Structure 1
Amino acid sequence: MTTAIYWFRNDLRLEDNPALVLACKSADFLLPIYVHDKHLEEETPWGFPRISEHRKVFLQASLEDLRAQLRSLGSDLVELSGDFREVFSNLRTQLGVSQIYCEQIEAPEELQQVSALRDIGFEVQALWQSSMLDPHSLPFQLKQMPDIFTQFRQQIEKSKLRFAKPVDSVQAIPSLPNDGAAYGLQTGVYTKASNSLFIGGASGAHAHIHQYFERRLVDTYKLTRNQLVGMDYSSKFSPWLALGCCSARTIANALSDYENRYGANDGTYWLWFELLWRDYFRFLHFKYGARLYRSAGLGNNRSNPFDGLKFNQWASGNTGTPLVDAAMRELSKTGFLSNRMRQIVASFWIYDMQGDWRAGAAWFESQLIDYDVYSNQGNWLYIAGKGTDPRGGRPFNVAKQVKDHDPDGVYQRMWLNEAA
């Protein structure tokens, strides 16, 4: 009789989860767990917490939703806290289990975790499952993928690739080991209130995706995606995608069904286009790995030196530039920021304040409920000119951005008055 652990990471769902499907097929007894790694409770090198309350609250809601789904199938979710090596070693002592199934995350820290577990004798089966496209279907090897997004996209489109078909939701889960005895079960680890407009979990993800397509908001996506105020100007799928409460393949499949029903248009294409950007930043990690995390990125010039005083002004929304300050206060207040404002404040930090791009990326990691290691790193490298962008950086003119996106000052007043 085989006993295994399913280690949920950024795949907090039962639907379209090939690694979980494999675990359920392979094991007679299965223990689903989530590990709150104590390393994430440490401060960053720049002196602030690595994870904000907004992120913690969204994560906890997502875990509670996952737990309810697992319990409906006669299983459960065990939350454990501490050093992940010790957590798994303790489970091995308790259960005599050395098999772990999980999703593959192709980022340095997450790869090191899997490597460390293998080093201490665990058999880890990690499956890649977070992209819209199947890496094996691509018209190139990932190590040789085009650096420039436009060339990447053109090859994908030439090959007529759209998305990989999602796998069916898990319908049955092997019994818990030891008749379901508690393994240091924790619930409600993070319970503080949040001002977020988003509620974590696969149930919330499905409800949001359904209403988005039912209200036909996708038709205007290309026209409205750079707006700054409200819930409907962009898809807002990212918080649930970031924790894997839904998958990119499920969204792409829903988009395809929508196009079959109503026809394709600029909005539907552009939503797919943005999901392709998400894949691109993921796949770049297979090619460049830890080089994407160097001070110089893929280039030769190191980042600007870190200035703590300037950073605090930027992060707290006290730079004296109203649009930037409004955005940074929105971020602190809600844990979310429009894509347009993310680019503007990143540019301002790097070029106007001569800041270290890595500190900005770490602040976004701390604050954003939709933090995604691939997209966050990719976008900051893109703005800083230290990634694959042929233009060598993307400085934004704030005055022009105000004129283009907040000419009446509605957004600025909303957040500057809110924080006053």
Structure 2
Amino acid sequence: MTTLIYWFRNDLRLADNPALVEACLNASHLLPIYIHLPRAQSLHALGFPREDRHRHAFLRESLDDLRMQLRDLGSDLAEYDGEPAEVLAQLAKTACADVVYCERVEAPEEMYQSQQIQERGILLKEFWQSSMLTLESLPFTAQDMPDMFTQFRKEIERAGLKFSIPVAAPMSIPPLPLCSDALPRAVDRQVTSSAHGFLGGERNASAHLKQYLARRLPDSYKETRNQLIGKDYSSKFSPWLALGCLSARTIAAELAEYERCHGANDGTYWLWFELLWRDYFRFLHLKYGRRLYQEKGLTETSLVQGHSQQFDHWRTGSTGELLVDAGMRELLKTGYLSNRMRQIVASYWIYDLQGDWHLGAAWFESQLIDYDVYSNQGNWLYLAGRGTDPRGGRRFNIAKQAQDHDPRGEYQRLWL
């Protein structure tokens, strides 16, 4: 009799979840859990929440969907509050569990959690499974990967790599431990619904992907992706990708089937291209690790300390720069912002207000329903010129951006 714990992290799905499949194969009893971390309720030094209401609402929907799917297979999802090492130590003892299976997350806080768990004497098996390409398929080691994205992409394309094949969801889940009724549970929490218009969960993610492809929206993606208003101008896969309700491999596989049926075009290539950017930021973490989280990034340039009053004006959309203010108010109200607007408002904070890029990244972490630790850090480093790009940062001309992407002021009127 082998009792295992499956700890869901940023992989809230059954399909294409190799770690979960492996746990199911090796367990006679399996306890699926999710741990709500204390940091989610904590405040930043400037007083704003580490994770705000929009993120909480989307997570709640995603966990509820996962629980219903597990119950359909005769299992369940137990939720707990606390530090993972403490929660898992207690559960392992109570449930007589031998091993904890989970997704591998190569970011400082998550790596520290894993270290603490192992120091408690708990056997932890982590699986790298959030990227479109597996580590084993890369034509280079993580330490030898090209620093520049363009060179990285060229080597991937030269090797003929597109994506790794997703694995099917488990057909069955081992029964819960016999003592599961006696296990402590997290306190139920009320979560305020948000205004972003997305519904969390794997089934909603699958439905969104299906309708996106059925409506032939990939064909126009490259032409419309920089628009600012509406739902269909971009794929909107990112919220579900961030929590792992949908895997990058699943999207890429469905996109390949779409190309087989309808033909490849600039739009389908560009969707894959953006997924490859996502992989790139992940693999950079395997190469540089905690260095990406230094205030100076990978550079020796001194950090600029922005004034807290300027930061409040920026985050609340009160700078007086109308396009920037519209973007920051959309983010504050909905928990979402287009990729184009993210770059514009980040550039304005870093270069026009001479703000601390680290603080801007923290605000995005607080607000974005599609917050992804790898992509958020990678994008802010790139814009601030503190990452791997030797050309330095990327400053946007705000007036030109307004003329190019909101010439009639419609976006500004919508949010201001």
TM bin, normalised by shorter chain, reads over 0.9
The corresponding residue for 1:396 is 396
Answer yes or no: is the 8 Å Cα contact 2:222–2:267 preserved in 1.
Answer: yes
Separation in structure 1 between the aligned mates of residue 43 and residue 33 of structure 2, nearest angstrom: 25
User: Residue 179 of structure 1: CA displacement?
Assistant: 5.8
The corresponding residue for 2:208 is 208
Answer yes or no: is the 8 Å Cα contact 1:56–1:190 preserved in 2.
Answer: no
- 2:362 partner amino acid: A
2:234 aligned with 1:234, yes or no? yes
User: Residue 191 of structure 1: CA displacement?
Assistant: 2.2
The corresponding residue for 2:20 is 20
User: Residue 98 of structure 1: CA displacement?
Assistant: 4.1
Which is further off, 190-199 or 260-269? 190-199
Answer yes or no: is the 8 Å Cα contact 2:365–2:376 preserved in 1.
Answer: yes
The corresponding residue for 2:282 is 282
The corresponding residue for 1:374 is 374
The corresponding residue for 1:144 is 144
Answer yes or no: is the 8 Å Cα contact 2:42–2:49 preserved in 1.
Answer: yes
The corresponding residue for 2:342 is 342
1:364-412 deviation line (CA, Å, top 9, x unaligned): 0000000000000000000000001232000000000000000000000
Q: Secondary structure at the match of 1:143?
A: helix
Q: Secondary structure at the match of 2:261?
A: helix
Separation in structure 2 between the aligned mates of residue 362 and residue 382 of structure 1, nearest angstrom: 15
- 1:365 partner amino acid: E
The corresponding residue for 2:316 is 316
- 2:93 partner amino acid: T
- Structure 2 counterparts to residues 189-204 of structure 1, below 5 A: 189-204=189-204
Separation in structure 2 between the aligned mates of residue 377 and residue 229 of structure 1, nearest angstrom: 25
Where do 5+ consecutive residues of structure 1 fail to align? none
Separation in structure 2 between the aligned mates of residue 168 and residue 396 of structure 1, nearest angstrom: 43
Which is further off, 95-104 or 16-25? 95-104
Separation in structure 1 between the aligned mates of residue 164 and residue 234 of structure 2, nearest angstrom: 23
Q: Secondary structure at the match of 1:97?
A: coil
C-alpha root-mean-square deviation of aligned residues, in Å?
1.1
The corresponding residue for 1:256 is 256
The corresponding residue for 1:108 is 108
Aligned length: 416
The corresponding residue for 1:32 is 32
User: Residue 224 of structure 1: CA displacement?
Assistant: 0.3
Separation in structure 2 between the aligned mates of residue 284 and residue 40 of structure 1, nearest angstrom: 25
1:73-128 deviation line (CA, Å, top 9, x unaligned): 00000010122222112212312224100000111111111111001110000000
The corresponding residue for 2:135 is 135
Percent identity over paired residues: 60
- 1:68 partner amino acid: M
- 1:406 partner amino acid: D
The corresponding residue for 1:82 is 82
1:37-83 deviation line (CA, Å, top 9, x unaligned): 11332112333110000000000000000000000000000010122
1:282-322 deviation line (CA, Å, top 9, x unaligned): 00000000000111100101321131111000000000000
